[in-house]
């Protein structure tokens, strides 16, 4: 596994953990369980951590994405903004191929 893919998976995992902690402590605030001041600080810190980890993961994905066109079988590096906003399934994205010019569902890989 490449360094970029490993980094992406680590930061996505950290962001999911941060989101879970944020939700749990936000619920503690709503339900008025424990010290409200502490719960508020923990919620804010982990919400910030979530945004940071998601941003890093998206930056890695935007800069290290490669595609294999399903129309012409050529490989190409994705344009960062297109990688971010394109429709996708877990392994494919609908992107414009620079070789054949078609918009195809292309195999997506972070390398
Ligand atoms: Zn193509």
Rounded CA separation 4/14 (Å):
15
Rounded CA separation 65/78 (Å):
6
Contact predicate 40/29, CB 8 Å: yes
- Which residue pairs from 17-21 have beta carbons closer than 8 angstroms and sit at least 24 positions apart in sequence? 18/46, 18/47, 18/49, 18/50, 18/53, 19/46, 19/50, 21/46
Structure confidence at residue 1 (pLDDT): 84
Q: How far is the CA of 20 from the centre of ligand 1 (A)?
A: 40
Q: How far is the CA of 58 from the centre of ligand 1 (A)?
A: 24
- pTM score: 0.85
29-59 confidence digits (pLDDT tens):
999 999 999 999 999 999 999 999 999 999 9
Neighbouring residues of the ion ligand 1, judged by CB less than 5 Å: 69, 71-72, 97, 99-100
pLDDT above 70 coverage of the chain, percent? 100
Q: Mean pLDDT, to the nearest integer, of 89-106?
A: 95
Torsional sign, CA 62, 96, 91, 77: negative
């Amino acid at each position: 596994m490449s360094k970029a893919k490993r980094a992406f998976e680590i930061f996505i995992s950290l962001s999911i953990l941060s989101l879970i902690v944020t939700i749990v402590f936000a619920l503690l605030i709503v339900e008025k369980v424990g010290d409200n001041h502490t719960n508020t600080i923990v919620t804010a810190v982990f919400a910030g951590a979530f945004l940071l980890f998601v941003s890093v993961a998206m930056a890695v994905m935007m800069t290290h994405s490669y595609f294999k066109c399903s129309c012409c079988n050529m490989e190409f590096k994705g344009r960062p903004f297109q990688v971010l906003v394109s429709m996708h399934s877990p392994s494919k994205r609908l992107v414009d191929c620079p070789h054949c010019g078609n918009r195809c569902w292309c195999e997506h890989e972070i390398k």
